[in-house]
Amino acid sequence: MDENSNGSHIPKTKKPKITLITPSQIQAEFAHHDASVARINNGSFGSCPASILAAQRRSQLAFLRHPDHFYFNQLSPAILRSRTLIQRLVNAHHLDEISIVDNATTAASIVLQHAAWSFREGRFRQGDAVLMLHYAYGAVKKSMEAYVARAGGYVVEVPLPFPVNSNEEIISEFRKALERGKSNGKRVRLAVIDHVTSMPCVVIPVKELIQICREEGVDQVFVDAAHSIGCTDVDMQEIGADFYTSNLHKWFFCPPSIAFLYARRNPKGSAFDLHHPVVSHEYGNGLAVESAWIGTRDYSAQLVVPEAVEFVNRFEGGIEGIKKRNHEGVVEMGEMLAKAWGTHLGCPPHMCCSMVMVGMPASLGIESDSDALKLRTHLRDAFGVEVPIYYRPPQEGEVGVVTGYARISYQVYNKVDDYYKFRDAVNQLVQNGFTCGELSD
């Protein structure tokens, strides 16, 4: 054993040399993307490189070659390996705090079903409040309706300003909603907070909001962070939520579909009594074990986390480097578009991640959600641009304001030309005097 330069007796280990991925290798990894489309919407469905798809295929074939051997000898250690890597990535204290599920939608069902049982079994009183953001994801709102409201919870929505200029604007609305939830002597039992809202897209100051929840006696906090891993900072011990979910198929290069659901062990070491909505043989053995077998199906997306970690480590700075460059790229492209169209971003750069909202020219006449969707379809069909569009109704007294915002994403495969294509398509529409009224249903 050598003595190191710092005088310690830790054995010197040679770090394996990693060769950084080259631009042409990145292109090859995403060569299956439709080259005719400027794909600036990584946020909706993510992306998966060829090397990880190949690993997934190997795993599928291993199952098909000898299913019984795969089931009895390979599946559970492989899921355990993925859970262990996720635990490290998100800095969870215990391995059993991490379960792997299909997606954030499933994770939300698990948490909200748990809340429903708490209402039904009397741990929560009828009429006690459950808080969520007005911009909560549509499927999660439905889950709230299906589980919580139906079981007797009073759902309070936190209205959020958009465009938004500071975290304080969000924090102030959140405090007001908490007061509403607590009126008439009711308790706020659960707060559902997005980490990165979907539409419009803004990074929410979750740590601060959770701190407020703790001070105000909210029983539980669930963070819906469908976009977060690979896109914003994810540290379970720092964030301090009771439940937290993120997909790995959006910004962590896994194939569809895989998400983790973190459920904090309480200080006494016991776990929440969470259950997978699909009940199988492992019912009652803890959520992580229940989720690892929910009947015969394709588990391969859950087994390629090691390859996804290897993939991100081929980039300078690993996932942190990717995240930083994507953020810088999306802000630069967002500002370029806003300048070209005479509009603005939907939030300051420090409130966005690898996605940002960009105001679209008011002359496009986006007057409803339906107009926003039709314009998105038109951009796809006529210009080969894939980008979601948000309709923001004018507030009282506002005339000629921006009513449509595009949510642009930036991922490692994107090129400046993708955004120029979008810019030029919109400029052409404006020059032609186009309005959304021209588009048929």
Ligand X SMILES: Cc1ncc(COP(=O)(O)O)c(C=O)c1O
Q: Which residue ranges make up the site for ligand X (CB under 6 A)?
A: 103-105, 137, 139-140, 194, 198, 224, 226-227, 247, 257
Q: What single-letter DSSP state applies at residue 353?
A: S
137 or 293: whose CB is closer to ligand X? Answer: 137
CB 264 within 8 A of CB 97: yes
CB of 124 to ligand X, least distance (A): 23
CB of 176 to ligand X, least distance (A): 22
CB of 105 to ligand X, least distance (A): 3
What does the block give as tokens for 102? 């299909």
Whole-angstrom distance, CA of residue 83 vs CA of residue 262: 10
CB of 103 to ligand X, least distance (A): 3
3-class DSSP assignment, residue 386: strand
227 or 264: whose CB is closer to ligand X? Answer: 227
Whole-angstrom distance, CA of residue 262 vs CA of residue 95: 10
What does the block give as tokens for 410? 């930036």
CB of 109 to ligand X, least distance (A): 10
143 or 343: whose CB is closer to ligand X? Answer: 143
Whole-angstrom distance, CA of residue 326 vs CA of residue 417: 15
CB of 232 to ligand X, least distance (A): 12
170 or 436: whose CB is closer to ligand X? Answer: 170
CB 326 within 8 A of CB 229: no
CB of 195 to ligand X, least distance (A): 8
103 or 403: whose CB is closer to ligand X? Answer: 103
CB of 259 to ligand X, least distance (A): 6
Amino acid at 208: E
Residue with tokens 């999306």: 330
369 or 424: whose CB is closer to ligand X? Answer: 369
Whole-angstrom distance, CA of residue 387 vs CA of residue 310: 29
Closest residue by Cα to residue 274 from 258, 296, 290? 290
198 or 220: whose CB is closer to ligand X? Answer: 198
Closest residue by Cα to residue 136 from 152, 106, 158, 167? 158
230 or 361: whose CB is closer to ligand X? Answer: 230
One DSSP character per residue, 99-166 reads EEES-HHHHHHHHHHHHHHHHHTTSS-TT-EEEEETT--HHHHHHIIIIIITTT-EEEEE---SS---
